[in-house]
Amino acid sequence: MSPNLTMSPDLGKEDWDPDVITRMIFIGPGAHVSEQEIVSEFHMLGLPLTIKNTCYGSMISGKSEDVYKAIEEIRKLDPSHIFTKERGFAPGDPRRCRGHRFGPREGFHQMEKEYRILGFVSEALDNPKEVELEEKKPIEVDEFKKIMNECLENKE
Amino acid sequence: MVKIAIYPPNSLILADLLERKGHTPLVLQKQIRQKIKDPEIDSPPMNITEEDPIKGLKYAAIEVPSGVRGRMAIIGPLIDEAEAAILVDGAPYGFGCIGCARTNELSIFLLRNKGIPVLELTYPTNQDETYVMVNEINEFVDSLEETAGEE
């Protein structure tokens, strides 16, 4: 079997529990906390959670009540730079985990794209202000004619 | 608390901004979780079963490719549940998780036709555009709260 194909995983009791959820915690650019600080804080909460340290922040898995409580606490560390989102698969699930397959996992590319504007979003949350955008308009016909004629004259 | 459909349905930024305001974003990951925790699926890596294209018939005609119908079996219930929607347009290639342009078009069409409040945004590329996006989302969510309060 090619390693890129997913295998039939040997799932534990927790993996089948519909009340167990997984959340990803992202630390945006310019955050005042590190991944390690976030993980330590999760451990200090003393909740029954599976906590994983990752390059973008961390991932937590556990009963939904505990997970939401932990997220509420962790957001207080840096409200405008800590972002969270749901994840369907549990941490280390062989169907998605990078350790069992080639290349980045599905979903990573979306994360990569959103991470590029995450800094702007943090800034907008930190210092909300009204901004007027200049609407792009097509060039005037006379102006276009002028440029066209100039180009043609220069060519000759 | 309003249930808001987002597009792309796995967006971190949209889901997070809505959760900050205390609303429920209808994200695809929850549907996938339900799917993979379903003990009736014999082979767990196979997220799409032969039942799904049949369920998808509720949202797309029989002539529509089975790939679209299979995807709609997962996204469709989110559209049914939605009380409002936020759609992001003009995103770079690869933004979103559906992997099928026709499913994207169909889902957006169904959300627009549902008669729920819809906010359509353009994917921001710089600081000012992001300010506008965040402000528009916040204003939209506040207007939903006011409408819910009046009712």
Q: Look at residue A4 in the predicted model and tell me its pLDDT.
A: 46
| Start-end of H helices in B8-126 | 12-20, 28-36, 52-55, 66-81, 101-113
Q: Look at residue B145 in the predicted model and tell me its pLDDT.
A: 78
**Sequence-separated contacts (24+) of B18-24 with Cβ below 8 Å:** B18/B86, B18/B137, B18/B141, B19/A84, B21/B138, B21/B141, B23/B141, B23/B144
Radius of gyration of chain A (CA): 24
Terminal CA-CA length for chain A: 66
Res A1 pLDDT > 50: no
- With CB atoms and an 8 Å threshold, state whether A110 touches B34: no
Which two tokens mark B103? 């499913």
- With CB atoms and an 8 Å threshold, state whether B11 touches A133: no
- Residue A77, chain B, CB below 8 Å: the answer is no
Radius of gyration of chain B (CA): 16
* Closest to B20 (Cα-Cα) out of A134, A123, A111, A81: A81
| ipTM of model | 0.87
Task: Write out chain B residues lying below 8 Å of A130, CB-based.
Answer: 135
Which of A47 and A91 is assigned the larger pLDDT?
A47
* Closest to A115 (Cα-Cα) out of B18, B137, B24, B92: B92
Res A7 pLDDT > 60: no
- With CB atoms and an 8 Å threshold, state whether A89 touches B33: yes
- Separation between Cα atoms, residue B116 and residue B118, nearest integer Å: 6
The Cα of A146 is separated from the nearest Cα of chain B by a number of Å equal to 32
Mean pLDDT over all residues of chain B? 87
Cβ neighbour number for residue B136 with a 10 Å cutoff: 15
* Range of lowest pLDDT (A8-17, A108-117, B135-144): A8-17
Which two tokens mark A33? 């906390």
For B39, counting Cβ atoms within 10 Å of its Cβ (0-12 exposed, 13-18 middle, 19+ buried), the class is exposed
- C-alpha distances (whole Å) from A61 to each of A93, A115, B6, B11, B30 are 12, 22, 23, 19, 14
Q: Look at residue B151 in the predicted model and tell me its pLDDT.
A: 65
Average pLDDT over residues B123-151: 88
- Residue A106, chain B, CB below 8 Å: the answer is yes
Q: Look at residue B46 in the predicted model and tell me its pLDDT.
A: 57
- Separation between Cα atoms, residue A100 and residue A1, nearest integer Å: 12
| Start-end of H helices in A1-156 | 13-16, 35-45, 64-75, 108-126, 141-155
- C-alpha distances (whole Å) from B82 to each of B42, B69, B88 are 30, 19, 16
**Using one digit for the tens of pLDDT, what is the confidence trace for A56-87?**
899 999 999 999 999 999 999 999 999 999 99
- Which site among A20, A59, A114 would you substitute to test the B interface, given the most B Cβ atoms closer than 10 Å to its Cβ? A114
Q: Look at residue A106 in the predicted model and tell me its pLDDT.
A: 75
**Using one digit for the tens of pLDDT, what is the confidence trace for B104-125?**
999 999 999 999 999 999 999 8
For the question of whether the overall pTM of this predicted structure is more than 0.90, the answer is no
**Using one digit for the tens of pLDDT, what is the confidence trace for A9-61?**
667 777 778 889 999 999 999 999 999 999 999 999 999 999 999 888 999 99
- Separation between Cα atoms, residue B120 and residue B149, nearest integer Å: 23
- What are the φ/ψ torsions at residue A124 (nearest 5 degrees)? -65, -35
